[in-house]
């Protein structure tokens, strides 16, 4: 409305009416946009306490008008050892996911549950897990299960960072098609997948409007790379990016960076949960704005054939 006021004195009467009507229409449209809620929490090895914390965040988001709620990697728990991590793991039909399907149905809200410790298909013999991103619809049905493809095996001696996810985790076999949700078509990744633009580009080519990376970044890597990577994925794919996050100390051995973010297709940060507190950020998802950006800067149409990019091989 301020923009309209600034321009109105310079416009002919008929155009004044048209401009005012257009602004009013835009305001009504924005008020009806779907709302996404990105959550930030501090998981511990205590699965019951973690569920209680997540339930509180989900209910808060639903009361705020969210159609879809995004939880971070390790929402179920973050273990303090390999043994504890494996011991607490469950199958998809176990207690934890069953409780979330009931909660989604009760509240009629979609849930993105990123980084669930899912027991592998050969658990009895293999004793390894998947790092699984699960989508549950408002009827309480599991509609997609993406298993993280890129495992975080990193030794940064100078920064005292040492993690080897592959010691107990099976890499997922494939990407999954984006899922139509109340906020748009959502493409699934998990945490370290964020560093691989090939994944986000593949999801975008198959129709993704929103990319989501539930995460538990370390403080060291988060401080240096988190926002930069998320904004890069948003800009290069012209997608919204939603990244729920862990924050703070989970136990004596591990602390997470926080800053759960929502970023628009232009690379603008729309929501940030900060670096210290548990909470939720609510953001409207404007798919018309996304389409406008893709129309005005048609990057996909400017891409060359595959042979061009492999011509150095």
Q: Provide the CB-side half-sphere exposure for 47 (13 A, CA).
A: 16
Selected catalytic residue, list 191, 209, 239, 273 = 191
CA dist., res. 11 & res. 177, Å (int): 48
Could you confirm whether 73 is annotated as catalytic? yes
Q: Encoding tokens for residue 264?
A: 């628009």
Local structure of 182: helix, strand or coil:
coil
Selected catalytic residue, list 39, 54, 62, 73 = 73
Could you confirm whether 191 is annotated as catalytic? yes
Task: Indicate the angle between helix axes 47-63 and 95-107, nearest 10 degrees.
Answer: 20
Q: What angle do CA 158, 161, 163 make, to 5 degrees?
A: 140
Local structure of 299: helix, strand or coil:
helix
CA dist., res. 37 & res. 60, Å (int): 9
CA dist., res. 253 & res. 183, Å (int): 37
Selected catalytic residue, list 39, 54, 118, 148 = 148
Alpha-helix runs per DSSP H in 111-155: 123-126
**DSSP classification of residue 305:** P
Q: What letters, b where the CB count within 10 A reaches 16 and e where it falls short, cover 258-269?
A: bbbbbbbbebeb
Q: Is 167 exposed, middle or buried, given 0-12, 13-18 or 19+ CB atoms closer than 10 A?
A: exposed
Q: Classify strands 269-272 and 261-263 as parallel, antiparallel or unpaired.
A: antiparallel
Q: Kindly list the catalytic residues.
A: 73, 148, 191
């Amino acid at each position: 409305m301020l923009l309209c006021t600034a321009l109105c004195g310079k416009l002919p009467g008929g155009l004044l009416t048209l401009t005012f009507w257009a602004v009013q229409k835009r305001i009504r449209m924005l008020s009806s946009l779907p709302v996404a809620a990105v959550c930030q929490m501090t998981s511990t090895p205590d699965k019951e306490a973690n569920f209680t914390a997540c339930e509180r965040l989900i209910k808060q988001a639903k009361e705020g008008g969210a159609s879809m709620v995004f939880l971070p990697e390790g929402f179920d728990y973050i273990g303090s050892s390999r043994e504890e991590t494996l011991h607490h793991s469950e199958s998809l039909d176990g207690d934890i996911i069953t409780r979330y399907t009931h909660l989604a149905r009760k509240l009629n809200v979609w849930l993105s549950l990123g980084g669930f410790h899912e027991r592998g298909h050969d658990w009895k013999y293999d004793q390894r897990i998947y790092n699984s991103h699960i989508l549950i619809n408002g009827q309480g049905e599991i509609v997609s299960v993406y298993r993280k493809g890129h495992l975080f095996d990193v030794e940064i001696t100078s920064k005292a960072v040492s993690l080897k996810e592959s010691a107990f985790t099976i890499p997922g076999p494939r990407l999954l098609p984006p899922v139509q949700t109340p906020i748009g078509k959502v493409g699934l990744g998990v945490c370290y997948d964020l560093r691989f633009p090939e994944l986000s580009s593949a999801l975008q080519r198959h129709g993704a409007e929103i990319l989501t990376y539930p995460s538990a970044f370390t403080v060291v890597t988060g401080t240096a790379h988190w926002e930069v990577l998320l904004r890069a994925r948003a800009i290069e794919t012209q997608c919204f990016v939603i990244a729920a996050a862990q924050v703070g100390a989970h136990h004596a051995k591990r602390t997470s960076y926080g800053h759960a973010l929502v970023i628009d297709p232009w690379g603008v940060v729309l929501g940030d949960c900060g670096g210290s507190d548990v909470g939720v950020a609510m953001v409207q998802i404007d798919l018309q704005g996304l389409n406008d950006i893709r129309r005005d800067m048609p990057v996909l149409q400017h891409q060359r054939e595959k042979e061009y990019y492999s011509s150095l091989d």
